[in-house]
Structure 1
Amino acid sequence: MTTSTSAVPAVDRRLLRRVAFSSLLGTTIEYYDFLLYSTMAALVFGGVFFPDASPAVGTIAAFGTLAAGYIARPLGGLIFGHFGDRLGRKAMLILTMTLMGIASFLIGVIPTYATIGVAAPLLLVLLRVVQGIAVGGEWGGAALMVIEHAEPDRRGTWAAIMQLGSPIGFLLSTAAVALVSRLGSEEFMSWGWRLPFLASAVLLVIGLYVRLNVTESPVFKEAVERAEARAGSRPKVPVLQLLATPGPLLLACAAGIGPFALTALTSSHLIAYAAGRGYAVPDVMNALLFTVAVSLVCIPAFSALSDRVGRRRMILAGAAGAIVFAWPLYAMVDSGSVLLLTIGMMVAQVAQNAMYAPLAPMLSEMFGTEVRYTGVSLGYQLAALVGGGLTPLVASSLVAGTGGSSLPLTAIVAGSALVTVVALVRLGETRGRDLARIDSAG
């Protein structure tokens, strides 16, 4: 695997800013829609789509539909990664945004269980799967569009702009829920929860307008030209190339498990857990807003810092912080103090951001151009599935099975961060690798 950095053409900063803004807007819209579902799963879907179940079982069932979207994310990464490596990044990103916007709008108009019976939760799961497929193809393509346009020594700095789409999307979705929750309990549960989903239509139009006006990745175009120059060469299936030497893909997945598990526990699951501890929902939502605000500062700072200290060192620091803070976090949540809840969530978010922020440049530097979209998307989305998708479901079941104890949650935080540590120990530093010269197998 080549790790040296060769001379690269001068970067068009105006074009790069446009690409970065497009990726930021696209990921913001995608994560607004995707994370909005997570919040509503904790607050609404148990009662609206599973009304015959007890509150605990209804919450578990709602988190089951949440997990369906995460299960679909690797499928989306595989599908869009394959065609993104064959046909280009831009076309796939337009398609992922369109799918997400349509699915989210339709969630906002689904009849309830009381109206159409079991068809309601089935439709909910179907649309959640479509969301998962869309977001599964979005992140990898958006990351590559920025990183493949950027200078080798500033990939983290520019990727940070795209990475802000996740906290901004979460901030918007949380603010939207906080706003409609003020309608009153009856109005919110009846029709108010639909309004943030319906707003996706407006976001979709804005996002498509911006995304249609960016150019294709220069690294991808160069790879296509090299392939065309090799007369008689037959294109290979990207996923088969990755599976022939699966080490990088497995390490990419393992490295992301820590930050995804911590995100799942301090966002969607914590809403239901804190409500069960007697916290008022508006207090929890306000704490979440402060928590996400931390990411607006830490993600760009840590991603840019990884250009100087290295991706591996930055992520290891965050993982160590998560392990150390795992027990204090839930001690603060269980205290019943809104102030301690908020501080605990904010500190945990700093550790999560240190693990998460360098992922985009690191994963992009692990795979060759012919398989990069597939490798980055699959590695990231498999980590999202294991660390994020299954964690709320497992956590809810363990808490219910232990009579409400938070010890299983502490173990999940520390254990998942330890998985990330092991992966980073095995993985060499990727900072500064020449994207055009990395072996396609990874």
Structure 2
Amino acid sequence: MLFIDLVNIISREFCSAKDVYYNILQLFGIAGLGAMVRPLGASVFGHIGDRYGRKMALTIAILLISIPSSLVAFIPGYSRVGITSTILLFAIHVTQGIALGAEQGGSSVYLIEHLSNKKKLGMFFGIISFGRSIGVLLFVMIVIICKKITDFNAWGWRMPFTFSAIWGLMSAYSIYTLGETPAYEKNREQRNLPNLPIIELVKRYKRALILAVLISVPVNVAVGFTIFLRTIAKEIVQVEMYVTTYVNEIVLIITSILIPISSIALGMLADRVGKERIAILFIIITIILCCPMLSIAYYYKSYLIIMLSVMALSIIERGINPIGIVASELFPPNVRFSGVSLSRNISFALHGGFTPMICTWLTITFPQINFVAGLYIIFCLLISLIAILQIKSQDKNFDW
């Protein structure tokens, strides 16, 4: 979240190009390379999660995400140490990328397996989103306070990163106290833990893995497109920094309120009419809207309009989110942590991590086609749509 909101400042601080677009492109490239190691992290932590327990894998992963994030606050800028600052930032992204290979997919598995009423998974995912929104609100409050009491553009932007370690320790402790999942405990008692979960996964569940990779694309692409929109907004519209600051804060606060409401409502709807149907509907909505959003942004050059588009995309993404539950249903418990983590992170490495960079490159390369980035998003979503339609009832494994 911090990286997304402060991408313009971070790109200026740690990258060498004089042109702002190329600075952003460099930073997105670093983030994309960090994303490429996620499948490696998913393989390593998937082995730990399926072999030694979900709790152990997630606790280690969360600490490896939060502690390096706090170190960003102490990296000298490019103007002081040159390329060393870029390398240090890259090292942090790689470390976090490996850990994120477990955290995102693994946390879904951990929470789903703890839930007793599996018919309410959609609503439960909405409640999880509510918790994340509280985190976003806390982040917004910290950033607002730092902007008020520090020279934010010069050095104050570093301060919010120092809170990451505290947040990580709190999250790790909550997982430690919640304990292991019933599904893992059952497998351990039955001695049904594979020696090499990744080998078992690739050998016996190829179809499930391919489907899970493809159906994970929409959420990753939507997040990447949102990051791209938020980043280029400040370059499309040449306004004073204080204007973008206040608009950002207002939009973030409103979004943090609307997202949990829409997540719970759409989750309940997904429980009633089907997770795939809701996801398909919102994928089609995204396909229809992404090109017009870009055209309107470039035509009106209104920062508020762009940020409202970002807010709309964030809410639309909640409608696509239930498809993540389907990915968990495709794998049995003995390889579920590996299957969900690996599929989600292969998808992220191929699409989510590089989507902002690809969209930025397309915008630079084809400036005469202002909606060209939207065409890439449509292409990715159409592939995923075909994959979702291929899922059959026999593909799902409901052994929770």
Residue number among 58, 61, 67 corresponding to 2:32 in the alignment: 67
- CA deviation vs aligned residue, 1:355-406 (integer Å, no higher than 9, x gap): 12x1332111110111100000111122222231100111111111112643
Cα separation, 2, equivalents of 1:416 and 1:175: 35
| TM superposition score normalised by structure 1 | 0.82
1:156-175 alignment, distance < 5 Å: 156-175=122-141
| Paired position in structure 2 for 1:281 | 244
CA RMSD of superposed structures (Å): 2.4
- CA deviation vs aligned residue, 1:241-284 (integer Å, no higher than 9, x gap): 22224221111111121222122112x22222111111553234
Task: Report the residue type matching 1:95 in the other structure.
Answer: I
1:274·1:284 contact (CA, 8 Å) conserved in 2? no
| Paired position in structure 2 for 1:97 | 62
- CA deviation vs aligned residue, 1:47-90 (integer Å, no higher than 9, x gap): 21124532221111111122133222222211111110000101
Task: Report the residue type matching 1:206 in the other structure.
Answer: M
Pairwise CA distance, 1:340: 3.1
Aligned residue for 1:111, secondary structure, equals: coil
* Long gaps (5+) in structure 1: 1-34, 229-233, 437-442
| Paired position in structure 2 for 1:385 | 349
Cα separation, 2, equivalents of 1:397 and 1:344: 21
Cα separation, 2, equivalents of 1:428 and 1:168: 36
Aligned residue for 1:370, secondary structure, equals: helix
Residue number among 129, 132, 135 corresponding to 2:100 in the alignment: 135
1:2-401 alignment, distance < 5 Å: 35-40=1-6, 42-150=7-115, 151-181=117-147, 187-227=151-191, 235-244=194-203, 245-266=205-226, 268-278=227-237, 279=239, 280-282=243-245, 283-334=247-298, 335-356=300-321, 358-401=322-365
Cα separation, 1, equivalents of 2:374 and 2:144: 28
Cα separation, 2, equivalents of 1:338 and 1:118: 33
Identity of paired residues, percent? 26
Task: Report the residue type matching 1:251 in the other structure.
Answer: L
Aligned residue for 2:179, secondary structure, equals: coil
CA separation of 1:175 and 1:249: change in aligned 2, threshold 3 A: farther
Pairwise CA distance, 1:239: 1.4
Pairwise CA distance, 1:339: 4.5
2:28·2:357 contact (CA, 8 Å) conserved in 1? yes
Cα separation, 2, equivalents of 1:189 and 1:346: 24
1:66·1:128 contact (CA, 8 Å) conserved in 2? yes
Aligned residue for 1:409, secondary structure, equals: helix
Cα separation, 2, equivalents of 1:249 and 1:38: 29
Larger helix proportion of the pair: 2
Pairwise CA distance, 1:165: 4.9
Aligned residues: 392
* Long gaps (5+) in structure 2: none
